[in-house]
Amino acid sequence: MIKTSSDPKHPRFLSNFYRDLLSEGVRKGITSLQGLTAHGRGETFDYLMGEKTCSFARVSIQAAASLLLLSKFPVISVNGNTVILSGKGLVKLSQLINCPLEINLYHASKLRERKIFTYLQNLGGMNILLPDKTKIKGIYSNRKMISKSGQKMADLVFIPLEDGDRTRALIHLGKKVITIDLNPLSRTANDATITIVDNIVRALPLLIQVITQFRQLSRNELQSKLNSYDNKKNLARALRFIRKRLAELA
Ligand code: ATP
């Protein structure tokens, strides 16, 4: 297990804690160096929103739970940041909805893929897929490489902390996409079917909690929760929240 030297009394303890985890993830060959800067972009938006789960995120978590329970073949796509920040939660989610965890890396290497595979296995992950020779059209990065028994077949792909190209390509293929992204302006946030604007370390445990509750609901009840959700309106709420908070602080 990765350890941190961060002092719990420090006012930015949690932020330092997750930075330590990710730095250790780099040393272990799981997180890429570029993943650290991507985390920094997320932290900026988290700071602007007060580092807490806002009501608009709770609304999208409910919609995401409904869609995950309604879909026929969901797949969870994981990368070097998500497994380090939320590996246990991702494994738990894959067990809860009985779906594969598919490793998909921007800065890919066979060695990193194997390390992430072993890391997830050690956390109890059983259904873990690696990319094979299957490709998604319209992507020029390594993220085009997917698994034919995973994302290729999926009707829904859960891709937290993703870049816009793959989100767009998956949507063009007719798949639904759920993301967790602190940046309500990103291409991923705007193209996804459901965007949870929150930090993955807070949002994933809540998503798991809501799925556990919603498992008692009928398909009709889940569908009606989904029907009342509007991603664009919810993203607009996030932006208005940031504007209001900054205006108040100013
Ligand atoms: P896009 O291509 O979609 O416009 P991007 O180029 O910023 O976005 P990446 O660099 O791949 O995409 O970054 C991934 C996204 O993850 C960023 O939008 C960032 O804000 C977000 N992010 C980083 N860390 C976290 C976190 N801990 N929780 C939630 N979101 C995060």
Q: pTM for the whole thing?
A: 0.95
The domain defined by 55-246 folds into: Rossmann fold (3.40.50)
* Mean pLDDT in residue range 158-169: 90
Q: What is the DSSP string of the chain?
A: -------TTSTTHHHHHHHHHHHHHHHTTSS-HHHHHHHHHHHHHHHHTTSS--HHHHHHHHHHHHHHHH-SSEEEEE-HHHHHHHHHHHHHHHHHTT--EEE--SS--HHHHHHHHHHHHHTT--SEE---SEE-TT--SGGGEE-TTTTTT-SEEE-SS--HHHHHHHHHTT-EEEEE-S-TTSHHHHHSSEEE-S-HHHHHHHHHHHHHHHTTS-HHHHHHHHHT--HHHHHHHHHHHHHHHHHHH-
Q: What is the pLDDT of residue 248?
A: 96
Dist. CA 182 → ligand 1 center (Å) = 7
pLDDT of residue 236 exceeding 90: yes
Q: Which of 77-91, 109-123, 136-150, 186-200 has the lowest mean pLDDT?
A: 136-150
Query: Which protein residue's CA is at the shortest distance from atom 15 of ligand 1?
Result: 161
> What would the pLDDT profile of 71-127 be if each residue is shown by its tens digit?
999 999 999 999 999 999 999 999 999 999 999 988 778 899 999 999 999 999 999
Domain ranges of the chain: 55-246
Query: Which of 33, 51, 78, 186 should be mutated for ligand 1, with most atoms under 8 A from CB?
Result: 186
Pocket of ligand 1 (CB under 6 A): 38-39, 41-42, 45, 85, 161, 163-164, 180-183, 186-188, 199-200
